[in-house]
């Protein structure tokens, strides 16, 4: 466990477990590094150095008024890699974290990066536009912002259902999993949570994706209600040279149970290749 300070003076919390080739995880909105704990433990036990940070405004990191934008998220990640002098890194990003790692590569290049994993990631663009009819209408993201501003505790409790697919017939999602989602979400500063909606919905990562020059695994749940696969993985995979696309039938945005076990196996196999 440690902290580092960004260029604008924001303190960022990170975990650093194990030793070996570094695998750096970036979490989704509105969570923090704890969302990756099972995978951090998994890769550390298999001979890797596992790292994950709380994005600015989230979890145990500072909550500045400024800097809640994708470019700064990417620069904060770059600062972590530079301070620890990490090289031959495997970047792993879920949801908004997928946008963060893709934007990192777009802004900072792949000199320190060997491989990339995107899970349920937001690139190339979530917002519906004339050029992106597969995206979601702006009203969807307006409702997220309204939820953050008005009774966010209840909003996060409700959001945990589609996040993990608990609203699907026959779903078996432990209440504790949904409670943990709520707890992590309530640690996000309201300004950071509100600003981040714009960043994960309206940021266009098309050019970032086209510039990726490292082996890439793109994994996505077929029944993802938060980042629908048609606007995300199915469009992103053809943009990335030699990307491998793994689609998990019936899987939601947040993977639990057997879905998580399948991803864990795919992650370890990709790390070893």
Q: Which residues are catalytic?
A: 95, 224, 253
Q: Phi then psi for 157, rounded to 5 degrees?
A: -60, -45
For tokens 């070996």, name the residue.
20
Q: Which residues on adjacent β-strands are paired with residue 219?
A: 119, 246
Report the relative pairing of strands 89-94 and 113-119 from DSSP bridges: parallel
Q: Which residues on adjacent β-strands are paired with residue 80?
A: none
Q: Quick one: DSSP state of residue 136?
A: B
Q: Rounded distance, CA 196 to CA 68, Å?
A: 6
Q: Rounded distance, CA 263 to CA 120, Å?
A: 11
Kind plus residue range of the DSSP H or E element containing 50 = strand 48-53
Which residues lie closer than 8 Å to 109 by C-beta, 6 or more apart? none
- For residue 121 the two structure tokens come to 């990631």
Q: What crossing angle do the helices spanning 190-202 and 138-149 adopt, rounded to 10°?
A: 170
Q: Which residues on adjacent β-strands are paired with residue 15?
A: 52
Answer for the pair 45, 27: CB distance below 8 angstroms, yes or no: no
Answer for the pair 122, 98: CB distance below 8 angstroms, yes or no: yes
For tokens 């640690």, name the residue.
187
Phi-psi region of 167 (alpha: psi -120 to 50; beta: other; left: phi over 0): alpha
CA 130 to chain centre: 26
């Amino acid at each position: 466990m440690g902290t580092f300070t960004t260029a604008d003076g924001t303190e960022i919390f990170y975990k650093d477990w194990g030793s070996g080739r570094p695998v750096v995880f970036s979490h989704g909105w509105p969570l923090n590094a704890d969302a990756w704990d099972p995978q951090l433990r998994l890769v550390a036990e298999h001979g890797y150095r596992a790292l994950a940070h709380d994005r600015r405004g989230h979890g145990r990191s500072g909550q500045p008024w400024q800097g809640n934008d994708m470019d700064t998220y990417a620069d904060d990640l770059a600062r972590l890699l530079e301070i620890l002098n990490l090289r031959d890194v495997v970047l792993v990003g879920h949801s908004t974290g997928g946008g963060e790692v893709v934007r990192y590569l777009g802004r900072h290049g792949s000199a320190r990066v060997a491989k990339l994993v995107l899970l349920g990631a937001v690139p190339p663009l979530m917002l519906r536009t004339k050029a992106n009819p597969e995206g979601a209408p702006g009203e969807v993201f307006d409702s997220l912002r309204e939820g953050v501003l008005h009774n966010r505790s209840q909003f996060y409790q409700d959001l945990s259902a589609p996040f993990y697919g608990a609203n699907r017939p026959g779903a078996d999602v432990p209440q504790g999993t949904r409670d943990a989602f709520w707890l992590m979400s309530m640690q996000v500063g309201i300004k950071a949570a509100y600003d981040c909606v714009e960043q994960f919905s309206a940021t266009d990562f098309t050019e970032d994706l086209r510039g990726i020059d490292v082996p890439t695994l793109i994994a996505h749940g077929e029944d993802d209600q938060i980042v629908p696969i048609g606007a995300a993985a199915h469009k992103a995979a053809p943009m990335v040279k030699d990307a491998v696309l793994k689609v998990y039938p019936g899987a939601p945005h947040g993977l639990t149970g057997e879905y998580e076990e399948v991803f864990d196996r795919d992650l370890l196999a990709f790390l070893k290749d």
